[in-house]
Amino acid sequence: MYLLLKVKNNHLAYLILSVSSALLFILAWQPFKILPLAFIGFLPLFTLERKIRQEQANSKAWLFLYSWLAFVLWNIGSVWWIWNASEGGAIAAFIINSLPMVLPLMLFHARNRMTQTPNYWYFIACWVSIELLQFHWDLAFPWLILGNVFSYLPASVQWYEYTGVIGGSVWILLVNTKADQLLTHWPSLNPLQKRTKVLNQSFLFVIAPIFLSIYIGNPIQQTEKADIIVVQPNLDPYSEKFGGISAHTQLIEMLQQAETKMDSQVQFILLPETAIQGGLQENNLKNEALIQILQSFLQQHPYVTVISGMDSYHLFAANEPHTLTARKFTRSDDYFDAYNAAVQASFYDSLQVYHKSKLVPGVEKMPYPEVFGFIEKYAISLGGTSGSLASDGESKVFKGYQKIGMAPIICYESVFPEFTASYVKKGADILCILTNDGWWGNTPGYKQHFDYGRLRAIENRRAIARSANTGISGFIDKDGSILMESSWWQKEVLRMKVPIYKGQTFYTEHGDWLAYIFLFIFFADSLTLLVKRKAYY
């Protein structure tokens, strides 16, 4: 790769470096799982930055072009499966998610031109700040957070209970920057210096974190177990789930599936996202026909609590203030809010409802509606209700007569670490993920989504019970290990006594503290540079 530095004004060399970086990250991700490549994925981009800075007068434009190409290709190669759900949505995701990735390299380049001394900590701080943005802005898509690459090898990052997934990102960035520093100075080192630096840096930045993960202690211990059934109905979301089979028939068949594993010891049954669908009115929820079916089932099994996904809405009274997400019925003057929701029902407790709070941009909410509200009618429809949904805006824990806190995490919410931790802070003993991963077909998408849940288990030291319409249903322990899992595109019912853990991890209590430290470093360094530049000119 460094032979390319000898080629002057060679756009072919720029292209090779750009594509090389993309390929390294693609191969590191699911399904290829060549994890070590993530630790050298930025090396071609660092070489690209250095080469363009030395060779091009209009260096900013060329660096933007070739670095953006690398990140677009990485996005396409890793999350191409979005295309199966929506071609337009996929193109938007590739472009919008890749653009912020360019910013750290562009700022790193600007700083290098100003100071003539590369500051890799500045690059790390900027990249981590962008990842923090991906958790919080309206276009949030944290799928390719660097630390997510360890999701298929969770044994290597048990210290996520302290740092969260951002700790993995910092690890990858550190190794990349240290490797680039070493390679840059390699020609000037003697053989002894080369061996010493390779051994020292390999131990400090590669071997030590792995050993730490292996030997890390965890004070959170199991207190009891909850007997849980998860149902995977395996309904095709395009031909069966929404319109092909009636909502009434779907629910009855799911409950019949659960019956095959039932006895008097079962405590919880989990049904997937929008298992109860067709638009249930929450104003009078207990009298809805599908809820009545559920209640009849619970009369036969009064010791069981059912947690299910639900497609519902709230009808506004004539004098009731409307929310920003309220929409008008086409054939009346009434307004309503639509929800992607979860409901908990039991014989001894009243219904509890939670409205999904982390909504999918472009599908479940219109980002920045004050700007893009005029195109909401073109929102992507993935069954149920499309357009901007209403939400609770925060997590909610279901608790009933069994006194076990259950976190109703709906689909996309499980890729948000700090949001997932908020359930545990509110008393969740078990993380319940309700999802429908059939939209993407038999692609890496549903596998990536399942594996990301394994990181949430480590961060909070909580077991996970996961019910998917299809995809992967199963159970995950607090260390991210898979206790039981279903097969793809199979109708299955799984049952397990899931361990309950108490106590909170450092990450649960403090969230993305590491990211905020790097955000401070980024702003402090940027402000210092601006002051120096102003003084210089």
| 54-93 residue pLDDT tens | 988 788 999 999 999 999 999 999 999 999 988 988 999 9
Between CA 362 and CA 341 the distance in angstroms is: 18
Between CA 452 and CA 491 the distance in angstroms is: 23
Give residue 198's pLDDT.
Answer: 84
Of residues 331 and 371, the one with the higher pLDDT is: 331
Sheet holding 464-468, edge to edge: 406-410, 430-435, 464-468, 474-476, 482-485
The β-bridge partners of 465 are: 432, 475
Between CA 449 and CA 261 the distance in angstroms is: 26
Residue 242's domain comprises 222-316+342-356+392-504
DSSP annotation of 462: -
- 85: its two tokens: 């759900």
Between CA 243 and CA 257 the distance in angstroms is: 21
- State how far Cα 330 lies from the chain centre: 35
Q: Is 464 inside any structural domain? A: yes
Q: Is 379 inside any structural domain? A: no
Between CA 304 and CA 496 the distance in angstroms is: 14
What's the mean per-residue pLDDT of the chain?
A: 92
Give residue 537's pLDDT.
Answer: 45
Cis peptide before 44 (omega within 30 of 0): no
Percent of residues in the chain assigned helix, strand, coil, to nearest 5: 55, 15, 30
Q: Is 498 inside any structural domain? A: yes
Mean pLDDT, range 164-189, rounded to an integer: 93
SS3 string, 473-526, reads: CEEECCCCCEEEECCCCCCEEEEEEEEEECCCCHHHHHCCHHHHHHHHHHHHHH
Between CA 22 and CA 78 the distance in angstroms is: 10
Give residue 304's pLDDT.
Answer: 97
The β-bridge partners of 517 are: none
444 and 530: one domain? no
- Phi and psi for 197 in degrees, rounded to 5? -65, -40
CA atoms within 13 A on the CB side of 419: 25
Q: Is 373 inside any structural domain? A: no
Residues 6+ apart with CB under 8 A from 245: 235
Give residue 177's pLDDT.
Answer: 97
Q: Pick the closest to residue 343 from 290, 387, 415 (CA basis).
A: 290
Does residue 369 carry a pLDDT above 80? no
Give residue 508's pLDDT.
Answer: 98
Cα dihedral value 11, 16, 19, 20, nearest 10: -150
438 and 532: one domain? no
Residues 6+ apart with CB under 8 A from 149: 28, 29, 35, 38, 168, 172
226 and 213: one domain? no
Give residue 146's pLDDT.
Answer: 98
DSSP annotation of 4: G
- 3-class DSSP state for residue 225? strand
310 and 430: one domain? yes
Q: What is the largest CA-CA distance in the chain?
A: 82
Give residue 4's pLDDT.
Answer: 52
Residue range 197-220, pLDDT digits in tens: 788 888 888 888 989 998 886 777
Does residue 339 carry a pLDDT above 60? yes
Give residue 206's pLDDT.
Answer: 87
Q: What is the pLDDT confidence band of residue 24, given thresholds at 50, 70 and 90?
A: very high
pTM for this model (two decimals)? 0.93
161 and 238: one domain? no
115 and 184: one domain? yes
Give residue 379's pLDDT.
Answer: 52
Q: Is 352 inside any structural domain? A: yes
Lowest mean pLDDT segment, chosen from 14-28, 150-164, 382-396: 382-396
Does residue 473 carry a pLDDT above 50? yes
Between CA 108 and CA 524 the distance in angstroms is: 14
A 10 A CB-CB count for 371 gives: 10
Does residue 194 carry a pLDDT above 90? no
Q: Is 324 inside any structural domain? A: no
Does residue 514 carry a pLDDT above 90? yes
A 10 A CB-CB count for 284 gives: 10
Q: Pick the closest to residue 105 from 171, 60, 172 (CA basis).
A: 60
- 214: its two tokens: 């292996």
Q: Helical H runs in 186-222?
A: 191-202, 208-215
Does residue 414 carry a pLDDT above 80? yes
Sign of the dihedral through C-alpha 329, 333, 339, 342: negative
**For a pLDDT cut of 90, what percent of the chain falls above it?**
74
445 and 520: one domain? no
Cis peptide before 31 (omega within 30 of 0): yes
Give residue 332's pLDDT.
Answer: 82
If one counts the domains in the chain, the total is: 2
Q: Is 495 inside any structural domain? A: yes
The number of residues in the chain equals: 537
Does residue 155 carry a pLDDT above 50? yes
- Phi and psi for 396 in degrees, rounded to 5? -145, 140
Which amino acid, 142? P
289 and 159: one domain? no
A 10 A CB-CB count for 437 gives: 25
Between CA 410 and CA 219 the distance in angstroms is: 29
53 and 178: one domain? yes
Q: What is the CATH number of the domain that holds 439?
A: 3.60.110.10
197 and 117: one domain? yes
408 and 261: one domain? yes
Between CA 215 and CA 156 the distance in angstroms is: 10
Q: Is 367 inside any structural domain? A: no
178 and 235: one domain? no
